[in-house]
Structure 1
Amino acid sequence: MTPSTDDRQDMSAEEFEELVRKAPRNIRNRLEFLNGRLCVKHGPIEAEDFEELAQRAPETVTLELINGKLKVKPVPDGDHGEIILWLLRQCMQQRPELNLYPEQGLVVPTYRAGRAKPDGALAPIGNFAGQGEWANSAGVLMLVEVTSHDSDTDRRDRVEKRAAYAAAGVPVYLLIDRDTDTLTVHSDPRNGTYQQHPTYKYGDTVTLSAPVNVTLATEKLKDYTR
């Protein structure tokens, strides 16, 4: 069977070889590396198999499972990290009872069970205590993604994660899009779709709706553009 191109995401040959060496035996033969991208044969990967594979992945590779599709999340660059810290400071100054947790693994079930590591998860302090690597998304007020400069960011951040987070009932999904220098605030998830999704330019004052209730001064984001 030809691997589906929908399951592809850039990674290095060395990372792929290490991933295959460490992969559970029942998954190992389903992984292929074509044109610099990871491919999965024979249909979607199951959540249980994914969790074992993710635990064994190289430190340089972050795997996600969205709608049954195996994804490789790009390593963040310096500007990406600065944006997350900028957001963290603003959220914690205005809502000190909350934390913005970076790269917290979450269960985001949609058509097929999903496992995602958003760039940020805003939740009450202690919300993830006692939970494992893949925590329940209940209690999360907002999920955040900051786009990366890679070929898959359009489908991953603007389409698939938006749909997955809405289906999981996450109240707010904030997308900081570095390709367009904009912020889109997705809110009011109903029937698997965010009903509200206004977009703002860097420099605008951005209101994150309830239950987040944070107002962002975004002029600083202009310092992190290319």
Structure 2
Amino acid sequence: MTPRAAPTAPTPQMPVDEFETIAAAAPETVTLEFVGGRIGVRPATDGNHSTLVCWLAKRCLRARPDLDLCGAQGLRVDARQQSRARPDAVLVPEAHFAGHGAWADPAGALMVVEVSSYDPDADRRSRHEKPAAYGEAGIPLYLLIDRDSCTATVHSGPDRRVGGYRNAHVTKFGETLVLPDPVGIELDTEVLRNYVR
């Protein structure tokens, strides 16, 4: 029996610097990402999506006024920082991104946040490609607020070697969401049921 070859990473569509040139020239209405060597377009957010991000921001900053929850900040992620992601929000120490450009180093980020989309391509990136890249980058927590399943999943224990996270804790809307250290807060998610289809 012939041994099977290990799977190889897909060939990138282009070098990351070419992607950055394209992303910088895109109109303000188009948000591009480059995760796993492939370009993706972030869909426009709807009112419920924006409300979920605002809900999280208010509660995180009330519990931890020493932090900022930044939206639309681009990050250089994966093991070699060759991917470019724009999470829905990034929780960082206050003023952490001051002086950074469009694509910041993820060092110092405590948590990245994605709210599920009803766009299949963006949804796939949020569930599979981005957690792998965020884990490889060493970001301590990844929070996926999933409007399809009415859950919030906290991924913790980043694995820089193989990507992704070692742990995932799922909280149903209506239960207490625990954001472990380095964030260290608990949130009541009852109201989140109002912000799904």
Same fold (TM over 0.5): yes
The one-letter code matched in structure 2 to 1:189 is P
What number of residue pairs does the alignment pair up? 186
Structure 1 residue runs of 5 or longer lacking an equivalent are 1-6, 8-41
Match of 1:86 in 2: 55
Query: Equivalents in 1 of 2:120, 2:66: separation in Å?
Result: 37
Larger Rg: 1
Query: Equivalents in 2 of 1:112, 1:98: separation in Å?
Result: 24
With over 3 angstroms needed to count, the CA separation of the structure-2 counterparts of 1:98 and 1:45, relative to structure 1, is: same
Match of 2:41 in 1: 72
Whether 1:195 aligns to 2:152 is no
Match of 1:13 in 2: none
Match of 1:18 in 2: none
Match of 1:215 in 2: 186
Q: TM-score, normalised by structure 2?
A: 0.90
Query: Equivalents in 2 of 1:54, 1:110: separation in Å?
Result: 21
With over 3 angstroms needed to count, the CA separation of the structure-2 counterparts of 1:144 and 1:43, relative to structure 1, is: closer
Structure 2 residue runs of 5 or longer lacking an equivalent are 1-9
The Cα of 1:146 is off from its aligned counterpart by: 0.2
Q: TM-score, normalised by structure 1?
A: 0.79
Q: Matched residues, percent identical?
A: 48
The Cα of 1:161 is off from its aligned counterpart by: 0.4
The Cα of 1:43 is off from its aligned counterpart by: 4.9
Q: Secondary structure at the match of 2:120?
A: coil
Match of 2:176 in 1: 205
Q: Identify the range of structure 1 (127-136 vs 103-112) with the bigger mean alpha-carbon deviation.
A: 103-112
The Cα of 1:112 is off from its aligned counterpart by: 7.0
Aligned runs of 1:179-194 on 2, under 5 Å?
Answer: 179-190=148-159, 191=161, 192-194=163-165
